[in-house]
Chain A
Amino acid sequence: MTAYIIRRLLATIPVMIVVALFVFLLLHLTPGDPAAVIAGDDASPAEIDGIRSKLGLDRPIWEQFVIYVLSLLRGDLGTSIFSNLPVTTLVMQRLEPSVVLALSTLVVAVLFAIPMGVLAAWKARSAIDRIVMGFSVLGFALPVFLVGYLLIYIFAIELRWLPVQGYRPLSQGVWETARSIILPAFALGMVYMALIARITRASMLEVLSEDYIRTAHAKGVAKKSVLLKHALKNAAVPIVTVIGIGLALLISGVVITETVFNIPGLGRLTVDAILKRDYPIIQGLIILFAGAKVLINLMIDISYSFFDPRIRY
């Protein structure tokens, strides 16, 4: 097992090198001279030359790549063109809200979706099943921003239970953070819940028709235990897979959610950087998101063997 984890960690290195290469080329593949692109439309030739030598763009391209990778290895993601602050500093400032939002969404979605899916599978073709599946279709169909504004309207403006927008950092107390993050988490989690509920139902339905479920009943195991112990553990691998895939997909949702709820997180940083063409920030964020995704995949793969003993590495 440990050997497998080490092997998998080593295998992420080539992946990350390819990502780094892509991110590096991003600047060079953009039409036109990178220095001119960075300098903007109204820059003079002298300014463009200044930028070019400052960023080392006048050196051979392979040399630039090596320098780029070496600085990445030192944890240096570059410097923002506009604010002149290191990208790592900017990221660290914005990291907490995004991580809290992503994890809250994960918890909310899993907590609601798995019981919904199990219930729908157990009571297949019943009214409960149809309600859950209807909710699931709705979750897929409604865009995040619409759900977000709806939730704000109902719970913040009409009922006044929760703040309309903004984020309270953990340093101001967990309760305040939770109050500020619950609506965004639900808005962002809607699609995610729909996805997990659907897969849970499908996977459970398949497992519930297996012979060993009949054996469990024949042993006199209680219905609840048949569902949550005998069936759910067998149904877990596909469920964990979509939880992982979903978590990676959340990244795009985070951008919109953070905008709707005015949360100063990585999503907002990304949007602002793209609008201002602050390439070093964009590049740094891509590397970061790619790394997060690789890590999530690794964790999912490792979790498989926990759920299913037939999977051994």
Chain B
Amino acid sequence: MTLLATADTEPAPAPASGDVILSVRDLRTQFFTRDGTVRAVDGLSYDLERGETLCIVGESGCGKSVSALSVMRLIPEDAGRIVGGSVTFEGTELTDMPEHEMRRIRGNRISMIFQEPMTSLNPVFTVGEQIAESLRIHQGLGGHAAAERAVEMLSLVKIADPRRRAGEYPHQLSGGMRQRVMIAIALACNPKVLIADEPTTALDVTIQAQILNLMLELKERLGTAIVLITHDLGVVAETAQRVIVMYAGRKVEEASVEELFRHPLHPYTRGLMGSIPRRSATGRRSGVRGRLQEIPGIVPSLREEIPGCAFAPRCSFAGERCSREKPPLEPHRPAHLAACWEVARVAATPR
């Protein structure tokens, strides 16, 4: 995709300085239902650099999972499809790649792990076999070599007694262990990009930290770039280098993690931050922020074209212009993009 094509939609994401491995431009994915077309992803762009961790944050239904499935070309054919935009991986366009070539990329160069470790593993095959299968497909390993490598992968993801566990079935493992197995499958072929769609949401809080730490540690070791999709700003703060905030299928804000937490510019980002429990400097909840702030209203239906800012109906800053015109995504601070007409007022308002 050329710069020209993106010029009239939105500027290139801020820190495109480094070595970009995955580039998404003006991605549009729609689902075709009986009640009309759902614009699940509506013009999303981002760049992922080699070895970085990029977080995509947003509420349920904002299109973050669909954007990940679109990159992998895993949108169920009978439900929806990518209707526009481009996804390039190491300079190769993925959206129009023949299926058999795309298969060589999935699970090999770009891997994905999912939210549901309890149901994402096949119940009738041993976990060792499920790891070995990737190695046989992509690396051409023989049965025995693949099985041996699968055991190594299990010990890499810190599963105790890996040789015994390799011969076990998913139902014999706990949720945390299953997610470790999913990570082992995803990383078996040493991919350049790992897309993790809410990998810790279904797990106990204590296990969540373990899984996140494991992912970050392996990322460092293997040099994998991670796209981490989450609704949990706590996870973002701990893992990300750069953050994209999505709302109603579009990117509304993008910045480095420090910048975003220090100077959130979009009212929606502020709303998300208000909805997580915080502690004051003394370790106790401060009086003013004693209550959690919820964002009023619900995520808009993506069936109708929204003329103005999709967040306007829920936004306390919204003016008359907001519901009429779509705010462009523009840099308002160095390396900090936001799509909001009222950025100046938002920035001036104390949190």
Query: Which A residues lie at the B interface, using CB under 8 A?
Result: 124-125, 210-212, 214-223, 230, 233-234, 307-310
Q: Hey, which chain B residues are within 8 Å of A309, CB to CB? A: 123-124, 126, 169, 171
- B103: chain A residues within 8 A (beta carbon): 220-222
Contact A220 B124 (CB under 8 A): no
**Chain A residues closer than 8 Å to B100, beta-carbon distance:** 222
A to B CB contacts below 8 Å, 12 in the list: A211-B116, A215-B122, A215-B182, A218-B74, A219-B107, A220-B105, A222-B137, A223-B99, A308-B123, A308-B124, A309-B123, A310-B123
Count: A-B pairs, CB below 8 Å = 73
**In the complex, what residues of A have CB within 8 A of residue B193's CB?**
none
Complex CA–CA separation, A51 to B116 (angstroms)? 73
Identity of the chain A residue whose Cβ is nearest the Cβ of B119 in the assembled complex:
A211
A218 CB contact (under 8 Å) in B111, B125, B138: B111
**Alpha-carbon gap, A220 to B104, bound state (A):** 6
- Whether A230 contacts B104 in the complex (CB less than 8 A), given A220-B137, A221-B133, comes out as no
- With A220-B108, A234-B122 known as contacts, the answer to whether A215 contacts B114 (CB < 8 A) is yes
Contact residue among A212, A217, A308 (Cβ-Cβ distance under 8 Å from B74): A217
Q: How far is the CB of A120 from chain B (nearest CB, A)?
A: 14
Residues of B within 8 A of A222 (CB): 100, 103, 137
Chain B interface, number of residues (Cβ within 8 angstroms) = 31
Contact B123 A211 (CB under 8 A): no
> Using Cβ atoms and an 8 Å threshold, which residues of chain B touch A234?
122-124
Contacts of B122 in A (CB 8 A): 212, 215-216, 230, 234
Within 8 A of A (CB), among B123-157: 123-126, 133-134, 137-138
Give complex CA distance A222, B103 in Å.
Answer: 7
Would you call A217 and B106 a contact (CB within 8 A)? Answer: yes
Q: Which residue of B lies closest to A123 (CB)?
A: B78
Q: Which residues of chain A are near B119, meaning CB under 8 Å?
A: 210-212
User: Do A211 and B106 touch across chains, with their CB atoms under 8 A apart?
Assistant: no
| CB <8 Å contact, A219 and B121 | no
Shortest 6 CB-CB distances between A and B: which pairs? Answer: A219-B107, A220-B107, A220-B106, A211-B119, A212-B122, A309-B169
Query: Are A307 and B106 also in contact (CB < 8 A) when A210-B119, A214-B74 are?
Result: no
